[in-house]
Amino acid sequence: MKAYVLNFKEIDKTKLMAVGGKGLNLGQLSRIEGLRVPDGFCVTTEAYRKSIESSIELEVMIDKLSGLKSDNRELTSEISSEIRSTIEKLVISKDIENEIEKALFLHGENEAYAVRSSATAEDLPNASFAGQQDTYLNVKGKTEVLRHVVKCWASLFTDRAVIYRIQNGFDHKKVFISVVVQKMIMSEVSGIMFTADPMNSDRKTLSIDAGFGLGEALVSGLVNPDNYKVQAGKIIEKNIGTQKLEIKPSQNGGVEEMKVEADRQKRAALSDNHIEHLAAIGKRIEAYFNYPQDIEWCFANNDFYIVQSRPITTLFPIPQSIDVRNPRIYMSIGHTQMMTDAIKPLGMSFFEMISQFSLDKSGGRLYADITHDMASAMGKKRVLMATGKQDPLILSAVKKLMEDKAFMASLPKGKRNLKGGVITGASILQAIKISKKNNPAIIDELLAEFEEEFHGIDQQLSKLSGEQALEFIREDREKLLAMSYDARMLGAIIAGIMVNDSLNKNVEKLLGEKNVADTLSKSMEHNVTTEMSFALCELADEIRKYPKILTYISNEPSDEGFFEKMLTLPGGNEVYKAFKVFLDKYGMRCPGEIDITKARWEEQPTQLIPMLLNNIRVLEPGRHVERFKKGRQEAKEKEAELIRRVKALSGGNKKAKKIAKSISLLRNFIGCREYPKYYIVRRYQVYKKALMKEAEMLAAKGVICNREDIYYLYFDELCQVVKTNKLDNSIIEARKANYIHYEKLTPPRIITSDGFVPSCAIASENIPKGALPGIAVSSGVVEGRARVVLSVDEAKLEAGDILVTQFTDPSWTPLFVNIKGLVTEVGGFTTHGAVITREYGLPGVVGVENAIKLIKDGQRIRVNGTEGYIEVLE
């Protein structure tokens, strides 16, 4: 007969399915010599199984639940509530009750206990399920313990637990629940300790949150806890929270809130000695489990007690190197490309196709090993120069790493990895040549060449299939790279960037005015991203003419039959033609477009609807044209003003002539930086059509289940599958599960092979107290309502809103027509959001760490795009 109760000392690594994640970890913790773990036992999953197995009603309700998706919240809540109510009415059988009673007698019938749920899908390496089931504190007496065991069983079906399982792909029928019954510690102080920093995945920094009383005050968010940071056993940072409340055990069972005396409210909850002692305990536990831990602890009678430990599931995995003996440094490529989302394997393969250096894969992202670059004086200069423009926070992290002289001296020397990119000898020579001629006709000549090459590839590839098509794509890589890094186009881009910097410096020196290039960059020619935004506004203006079409797209139509249904409505033919014009030129674009697996606008045209509706709701017809003309006029007026003021200076005519030439050069070339990416993405869509044709054939043969399954294969693997028509589908399923996990992780900008993540913080002495520092990329100061937006399709912006997001790419450009300021977590001076804000004359600050967490949707904020900071006003 299977046991209904197991004492902690009886629990070993084989007992997960009997006692759940929490129970298993307590069994392991109780084996660590010298560690104080409050004694107790687990009511096993077998007791839960036996208690519910005879209820047909429960089985039917759980079946109903299994068919729901996470966005069906109302029905999920209704069924979950019914399930909980049914479970709470269960009567525990006598044999189970007897075993619990014996365990209570052994551990002390009159003791107070904490009764906690412990599910079999809980405290696992990839899914913690933390806080999904219920915990009951200070439970006294057999009757109350039994009652709360049943309540814990019911908590397996709280709304939050059910939705979490749906989102993480766990079958409700395959998750069972054990209940931990553990002696209560009447804590004076309690809290949570992370043996690695969960905010940035830094394995070298241990983080402790501490508050007075029981841990429930901290967990439920009633107090601002103290936070202590510890490195190598030494405290490096202390933030003391003001704690006005604490939770204490009630005399008759349960807990109660109490006010903290005034003299204790701002006092540190733990002394320095206690902090360092607790940190040492944490490192012992981490060493035992051989993985960073999330540890619940409490302090009473001058000693620490550990009541739980689980793996930290949000840590970004360290890229793996063949060289395990020497330290390595890895740099995020996603941050430099404005694409920090997880990428599927096929997307990674095509990302590598446009890279001129080797990349490492980790956590669904791509990293460049810059170890040998940082070990070389010349390589170091190149890293610092490149990152300064692309993502200044990477630059800040690299500089922080360089402060550790011993670490830098330990780096192995070898062949540098980073090469190519925008800054090359050839592109610099072209930049000089283009700057001298200052003739924008070179751009049109290059675009004509790119167009001709693109159409030739499209025609050739459309005639091929099978291995021939894939081999054509493989061989086309050299032409793709030649186009992507064409020295003439890069020279034009560099010419624009260089004159932007020099113009700002010269005018500030002569006239004392900062960032004049921001105004002079408004409404430029040769900006394919702005042209796309215009085209979308034209499409919106066409739609607004036809009320039936507007109603149709407002009712969330599906992509399937989208145009067919449109054509049955008045104005459908006209709007369809307008859509066709837009998609013929820009249909290959989408959010995260550098990932070939992302659905393009021509594949899912309904992605455009939120932006179209925003434009229709906020803009008057033709407003985009007026705005462009106004921007161009403002730039001309600014130019005339600067020339007039410079001429008034000593030697003014000569200086004014130089300024005028710089302004001309700026307006001729600053807008062309998006062209290489535009043509890469166009080429990708030609490739993708060929890939999806093969995917359809593989699906028809039963080799894969769905067309999109090929996204979980690397390109070389796909070539092999097309050749052999064989595939182990368990590979696809495993990678799908990994991708779901990777999506939730936050990739660090820089990480070392031993898990150190250097701080990206930028010096902020000159900003107001409490302001959020960032990188000033477009001058001006503006106040407005913050709109925190995580994806383009959920954007609902009104005129005057300030867009706050992780990053933007060209697919976001249409939203800039409606906003009056921009804040992003990722970016630099030359990245998409920075360029567009300058062109539209919008104040912009990028590189604001944790902006989407620290700024709440709807708050009024002030964006200072001149000095580079954000103030939350309410």
Residue 324 structure tokens: 């395990």
Residue 169 structure tokens: 């792909």
Distance from C-alpha of 360 to C-alpha of 318, rounded to nearest angstrom: 10
- pLDDT band (50, 70, 90) for residue 124: very low
Distance from C-alpha of 518 to C-alpha of 834, rounded to nearest angstrom: 10
pLDDT exceeds 80 at position 839: no
Distance from C-alpha of 531 to C-alpha of 603, rounded to nearest angstrom: 21
pLDDT at residue 121 in the model: 59
pLDDT exceeds 60 at position 132: no
Which secondary structure element, helix H or strand E, spans residue 307, and what is its range?
strand 303-311
pLDDT at residue 776 in the model: 87
Residue range 767-807, pLDDT digits in tens: 888 899 998 888 889 999 999 998 887 778 888 899 999 98
- pLDDT band (50, 70, 90) for residue 172: confident
pLDDT at residue 803 in the model: 95
Phi, psi torsion values for 259, nearest 5 degrees: -75, 140
Instruction: Give SS3 for 483.
Output: helix
**pTM, two decimal places:** 0.85
Instruction: Give SS3 for 81.
Output: helix
Cα-based angle 280, 283, 286 (whole degrees, multiple of 5): 155
For residue 251, with 0-12 CB atoms within 10 Å meaning exposed, 13-18 middle and 19 or more buried, which class applies?
exposed
Average pLDDT (380-388) is 87
With tokens 């434009």, the residue in question is 615
Q: Quick one: which of 752, 710, 750 has its CA closest to 727?
A: 710
Q: How many CB atoms lie under 10 A from the CB of residue 250?
A: 13
Query: Sign of the C-alpha dihedral, residues 195, 199, 202, 205?
Result: negative
Distance from C-alpha of 823 to C-alpha of 785, rounded to nearest angstrom: 12
Cα-based angle 412, 418, 419 (whole degrees, multiple of 5): 135
Average pLDDT (174-198) is 91
Residues taking part in catalysis: 832
End-to-end, the C-alpha distance of the chain in Å comes to: 62
- pLDDT band (50, 70, 90) for residue 8: very high
Residue range 559-588, pLDDT digits in tens: 999 999 999 999 999 999 999 999 999 999
Instruction: Give SS3 for 32.
Output: coil
With tokens 């009633």, the residue in question is 222
Phi, psi torsion values for 75, nearest 5 degrees: -70, -35
Percent of the chain with pLDDT over 70: 97
